[in-house]
Amino acid sequence: MSFIVKLVAQRMALGILLLFAVSVLIFAGTQILPGDIAQAILGQSATPESLANLREQLGLNDPAYIRYFHWLGGVLTGDLGTAMSSGQDIATSIKGRLWNTLFLAFWAAVVAVPLAIILGLIAVRYRNGWVDKLISGLALASTSFPEFFIGYVLVYFFAVKWQIFPGISTVYDGMPFGERIQAIALPATALTLVVLAHMMRMTRAAILNVMQSAYVETAELKGLSAFNVIRKHAFPNAIAPIINVVMLNLAYLIVGVVVVEVIFVYPGMGQYLVDHVTKRDVPVVQAVGLIFAAVYISLNIIADIAAIVANPRLRHPK
């Protein structure tokens, strides 16, 4: 048990160190962007005096490492800064949009995760048969299409041609649950199709790898049905790599929503990031980038911890 606790502590420490390194990269990347932030805010008609005053006000005259630690200190205390383009508090603006992104990712995961595992189990049960080939072929075709293509196809058929769902996913505070679900139906479907195939194929591969074990062959020789062999012996022992794949795809659902949110004009973190990249609003880009990185790293740590706990060789060492 102490060995598992040590592994978990190592993963968490590594995650914190990695997040710190990512924060340095995010800050450095925004600082080396071409152009003058003060000039972008005040416009081309600004006088040299007004530009100098704004640079002083924003702290742009300070060395880069001082600005970094000032920004990092604010982040650690919950102060993400102020948007240069609007003057609004970033943390307040992000709060609602982060909830919208998590809501969209959650319902996409609710559909994608169980469906991927079920399809993976079916593919293993009928491996090398026409069912397995059909599922694998559709999965391969699905992974071949980028998100924007899937999104535009869904909009064309379900919003324009058949008019079943709205093409623009407008949500607001106090919106009835049923209307909110209807509004996110198309972007959630697009995200589901993007991650479903990868999770299904990795589930199939993980179970097939376990199916080659001696204890699975013993179970088959005892006369157990193919489904019971998979359900009772193969799947439980393949759960660790499946958890890893699921968590990685959940991280993608949250971090990789930028394209889907832009296509459906969904008011989430991705749309917020794109809007302020075009305005060269550096504090917003830094804040959103760091939040995306924190979510991605956190889910990867959870995946590692879950895989450690689910591994019987670590739980019961000889």
Domain spans of the chain? 94-279
**Stretch among 64-68, 124-128, 130-134, 216-220 having the lowest mean pLDDT:** 216-220
How confident is residue 263, by pLDDT bands cut at 50, 70 and 90?
very high
Residue closest to 106 by CA, chosen among 180, 50, 35: 180
Query: Does residue 46 carry a pLDDT above 80?
Result: no
Encode burial over 249-273: b for 16+ CB neighbours within 10 A, e otherwise: bbbbbbbbbbbbbbbbebbbbbbbb
Average pLDDT for residues 197-223, to the nearest whole number? 84
Residue closest to 285 by CA, chosen among 74, 84, 43: 84
CATH number at 94-279:
1.10.3720.10
pTM: 0.86
Average pLDDT for residues 158-182, to the nearest whole number? 91
- β-partners of residue 89 are 82
Instruction: Kindly list the distances between the CA atom of residue 5 and the CA atoms of 1, 128, 309, in Å, as whole numbers in the listed order.
Output: 6, 41, 10
Structure tokens at 177: 């649950």
Average pLDDT for residues 259-282, to the nearest whole number? 89
Instruction: Kindly list the distances between the CA atom of residue 26 and the CA atoms of 32, 90, 189, 207, in Å, as whole numbers in the listed order.
Output: 10, 17, 31, 39
Alpha-carbon gap, residue 94 to 99, rounded angstroms: 8
Query: Does residue 78 carry a pLDDT above 90?
Result: no
Residue closest to 184 by CA, chosen among 265, 114, 256: 265
